[in-house]
């Protein structure tokens, strides 16, 4: 296979972890006989500094010419003023809208080797393997809003159409068919009209999937059960804001934010793949960032955009093997153990890939 992959390293530790993701993809290409071409472009704070735009036209042009994009992280203290007219996160939102990346997949897996680093008891983590499917291009993050400087009121509107809900729900139901056959749809239908539409639209979609169990859960109740009994969940379907919050909450079950990847997909094969963690400017340039989430994001790129399932599984197995043999970065290292650097951990992954 020949494929062109765009890389958007972004800010903070983004360039460091993306570099390791690219190394892993190059090794997969060598091992399995694929030709991967990479092209890098700017996004986020570094793009603001360079051209005054968090998502330059040149970056969009690069992405449009690729089969998939591997992204690092954006933002940092330099650009942290929420009232600034131009902010790094605007680049991400525009990227999602431009390519209609409506379905965000965030897998959360509890690794037995890292049970000591999670805040829950080890027995609660046994068997935890959750896939969050988050609607990504509508909801309250994109609805009508108003805020007047100096005014004593502001508003944001949560908007959903039946079509927007059901196309995301379809992704969740299809995923559940390949997993354990259960979808938990999260809403606040007891209070919000938009969430009553959400519940109705998901229920209508469920008719086409009689082999998949559907349960509806209010967001506050779901937040509690994700910590009290996380292993009961299979696929969790949620709107933009609720999906963002709940998947971040559940990320602690893996032991570190540095463990969790994500994929943002449209109707076709194109996707943007990125770790869910931020730019971590406090450790940028020190070579200690955890590259696991980015490497696993590269595995998702292989699976969803390039349709290379065996290659994706090989990357995931290599991560498992390194963790099982005690390989750790500083965020998941125990007392008395020596952590691996960002590149050294990736070296161990490459060794297992052969």
Which residues are catalytically annotated?
141, 188, 220, 244, 248
Residue 341 structure tokens = 């650097």
Residue 117 structure tokens = 């680093």
DSSP state of 42: -
| DSSP secondary structure, 117-146, as one string | GSSS-HHHHTT-EEEEEEE-SSGGGTS-EE
Distant-in-sequence, close-in-space partners of 195: CB < 8 Å, separation ≥ 6: 158, 187, 188, 189, 239
CA dihedral 185, 186, 191, 196 (to 10 degrees): -30
> Which sign does the torsion angle of CA 119, 182, 247, 18 carry?
positive
Q: Which of 55, 56, 48 is nearest to 78 (CA)?
A: 48
CB 105 within 8 A of CB 133: yes
Residue 65 structure tokens = 């010419």
DSSP state of 257: G
Q: Strands across the sheet with 182-187, in order?
A: 35-40, 2-10, 68-73, 271-275, 261-265, 103-109, 129-135, 235-238, 182-187, 213-218
DSSP state of 54: S
The string over 270-297, giving b where at least 16 C-beta atoms fall within 10 Å of a residue's C-beta and e elsewhere, is bbbbbbbbbbbbebbeeebbbbbbbbbb
């Amino acid at each position: 296979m020949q494929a062109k992959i765009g890389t958007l390293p972004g800010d903070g530790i983004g360039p460091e972890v993306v570099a390791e993701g690219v190394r892993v993809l190059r090794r997969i290409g060598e091992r399995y006989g694929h030709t991967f071409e990479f092209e890098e472009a700017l996004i986020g704070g570094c793009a603001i500094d360079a051209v005054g735009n968090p998502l330059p036209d040149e970056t969009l042009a690069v992405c449009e010419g690729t089969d998939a994009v591997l992204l690092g992280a954006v933002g940092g203290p330099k650009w942290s003023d929420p009232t600034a007219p131009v902010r790094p996160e605007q680049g991400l939102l525009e990227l999602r809208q431009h390519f209609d990346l409506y379905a965000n997949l965030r897998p959360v897996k509890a690794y037995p080797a890292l049970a000591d680093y999670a805040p829950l008891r080890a027995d609660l983590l046994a068997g935890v393997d959750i896939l969050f499917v988050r609607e990504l291009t509508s909801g309250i993050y994109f609805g009508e809003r108003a805020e007047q400087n100096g005014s004593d009121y502001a508003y944001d509107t949560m908007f959903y159409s039946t079509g927007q809900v059901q196309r995301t729900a379809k992704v969740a139901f299809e995923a559940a068919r390949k997993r354990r056959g259960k979808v938990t749809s999260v809403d606040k239908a007891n209070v919000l009209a938009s969430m009553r539409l959400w519940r109705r639209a998901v229920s209508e979609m469920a008719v086409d999937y009689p082999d998949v169990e559907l349960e509806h859960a209010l967001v506050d109740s779901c937040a509690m059960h994700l910590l009290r009994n996380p292993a009961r969940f299979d696929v969790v379907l949620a709107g933009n804001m609720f999906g963002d919050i709940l998947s971040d909450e559940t990320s602690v079950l893996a032991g570190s934010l540095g463990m969790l990847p994500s994929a943002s997909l449209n109707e076709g094969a194109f996707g943007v793949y990125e770790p869910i963690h931020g730019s971590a400017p406090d450790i940028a340039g020190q070579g200690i960032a955890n590259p696991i989430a980015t490497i696993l994001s590269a595995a998702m790129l292989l699976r969803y955009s390039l349709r290379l399932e065996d290659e994706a599984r090989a990357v995931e197995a290599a991560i498992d093997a390194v963790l099982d043999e005690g390989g750790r970065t500083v965020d998941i290292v125990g007392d008395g153990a020596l952590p691996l650097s960002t590149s050294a951990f990736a070296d161990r992954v490459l060794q297992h890939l052969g």
